[in-house]
């Protein structure tokens, strides 16, 4: 079983799945393997002998734990993907997951800032200091283009075209896309480029944004910097760098942007992922209705 799991993880890597997804699936499959060892002599699991009942017992076991529905759904997806791979590879003849009803979960609505909060947020960095100038450019770029912080960290100097207002980013699965930069972001980046030499060192990479020691940013460093600003404007806890990406999409949608266009800008493979933002807008509409309509509470 361990060999099949290792082969499956190698397959996922070749397919361009993110390291985080591969690690999560690996842990889920190892947990499943550990659980079903009790059904096999000496704990030696025969992949061809795994039954629907074994899998149902596993999910029954998980239901007794404080795992949320989303965790169960991911484990189900990991098992389904694993057994489909094993069937295609000829390791098994039947996929036992085909007879399993996969659990559903409610997707929590992502947190996003109001337009007023974003305006406040973008005005906070002290542009009298090189760090403030850099951080303002980071914030403006994230909100202007809806980037993930990993995508922002990977922007090279040759990826930006400020005259045309475009930036090329590398997203999940190493997929590249070109997204527009707004005028405020262009101005902020231009101002940052004037002070960028102050961050450079002899071995600095050709990345747009550099740390104080002239190195590439990692997502943890960016997360720390951004959360300091978020704490000054957010009315509740739980806001993350991804909240700016959510805000970008939500504000576009509320101002009439096409959902397909937003999908392209965000780099989503599936439209269903982007449709999450329609729920946010609907919640805003319902809230406005409750506050404004004279008979909404009758």
Q: Assess whether 84 carries a catalytic annotation.
A: no
Of the listed 25, 143, 192, 277, which one is catalytic? 277
Architecture of domain 2-99 in CATH? Answer: Orthogonal Bundle (1.10)
> Which residues have C-beta within 8 Å of that of residue 257, sequence separation ≥ 6?
none
Q: Assess whether 242 carries a catalytic annotation.
A: yes
pLDDT at 298: 47
- Taking only the tens place, the pLDDT of each residue in 9-40 is 999 998 888 888 899 999 999 999 999 999 88
Helix pair 276-292, 259-266: axis angle to 10 deg: 130
- Edge to edge, what strands does the sheet with 160-161 contain? 160-161, 166-170, 176-180
* Inter-residue contact 106 to 69 (CB < 8 Å): yes
- Cα 154 from Cα 251, distance rounded (Å): 25
* Per-residue pLDDT at 247 exceeds 90: no
Q: Which of these ranges, 179-183, 191-195, 251-255, has the smallest mean pLDDT?
A: 251-255
Quote the mean pLDDT of the chain.
84
Long-range contacts: 30-39, Cβ < 8 Å, 24+? 30/5, 31/75, 32/58, 32/75, 32/79, 33/1, 33/2, 33/5, 35/61
Q: Assess whether 268 carries a catalytic annotation.
A: yes
- Taking only the tens place, the pLDDT of each residue in 124-150 is 999 999 999 999 999 999 999 889 899
> What percent of the chain stands above pLDDT 90?
49
* Per-residue pLDDT at 77 exceeds 70: yes
DSSP codes joined into one string, 50-119 = --HHHHHHHHHHHHTTT--HHHHHHHHHHHHHHHHHHHHTTS-SS-GGGGSPPP--PPPPPP---HHHHH
Domain limits, the chain: 2-99, 115-290
What fold, for 115-290? hpI Integrase; Chain A (1.10.443)
Q: What share of the chain is helix, strand, coil (3-state, %, to 5)?
A: 60, 5, 30
pLDDT at 296: 45
Q: Are strands 160-161 and 176-180 parallel, antiparallel or unpaired?
A: unpaired
Q: Assess whether 74 carries a catalytic annotation.
A: no
This prediction's pTM: 0.60
Of the listed 74, 75, 134, 148, which one is catalytic? 148
Q: Which of 249, 258, 282 is nearest to 118 (CA)?
A: 249
* Inter-residue contact 135 to 208 (CB < 8 Å): no
Q: Assess whether 172 carries a catalytic annotation.
A: yes
- Taking only the tens place, the pLDDT of each residue in 262-271 is 777 777 666 6
- Cα 135 from Cα 193, distance rounded (Å): 12
Q: Assess whether 245 carries a catalytic annotation.
A: yes
- Cα 282 from Cα 60, distance rounded (Å): 35
> What percent of the chain stands above pLDDT 70?
83
Of the listed 172, 177, 215, 227, which one is catalytic? 172
């Amino acid at each position: 079983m361990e060999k099949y799991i290792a082969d499956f993880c190698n397959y996922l890597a070749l397919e361009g799945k993110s390291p985080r997804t591969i690690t999560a699936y690996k842990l889920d499959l190892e947990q499943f393997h550990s659980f079903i060892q009790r059904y096999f002599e000496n704990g030696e699991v025969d992949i061809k002998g795994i039954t629907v009942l074994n899998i149902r017992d596993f999910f029954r076991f998980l239901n007794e734990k404080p795992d949320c529905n989303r965790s169960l759904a991911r484990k189900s997806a990991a098992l389904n993907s694993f057994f489909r791979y094993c069937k295609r590879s000829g390791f098994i003849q039947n996929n036992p997951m085909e007879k399993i009803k996969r659990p559903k979960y409610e997707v929590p609505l992502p947190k996003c800032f109001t337009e007023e909060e974003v305006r406040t947020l973008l005005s906070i960095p002290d542009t009298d200091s090189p760090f403030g100038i850099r951080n303002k450019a980071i914030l403006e770029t994230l909100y202007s283009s809806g980037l993930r912080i990993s995508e922002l960290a990977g922007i090279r100097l040759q990826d930006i075209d400020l005259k045309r207002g475009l930036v090329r980013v590398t997203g999940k699965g190493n997929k590249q896309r070109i997204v527009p930069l707004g005028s405020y972001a262009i101005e902020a980046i231009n101002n940052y480029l004037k002070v960028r030499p102050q961050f450079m060192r002899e071995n600095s990479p050709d990345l747009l944004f550099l740390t104080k020691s002239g190195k590439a940013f990692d997502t943890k460093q960016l997360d720390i910097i951004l959360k300091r600003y978020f704490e000054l404007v957010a009315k509740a806890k739980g806001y993350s760098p991804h909240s700016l990406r959510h805000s970008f999409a939500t504000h576009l949608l509320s101002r009439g942007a096409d959902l397909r266009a937003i999908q392209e800008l965000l780099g989503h493979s599936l439209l269903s992922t982007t449709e999450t933002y329609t729920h946010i807008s609907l919640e805003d509409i319902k809230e406005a209705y409750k506050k404004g309509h004279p008979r909404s509470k009758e």
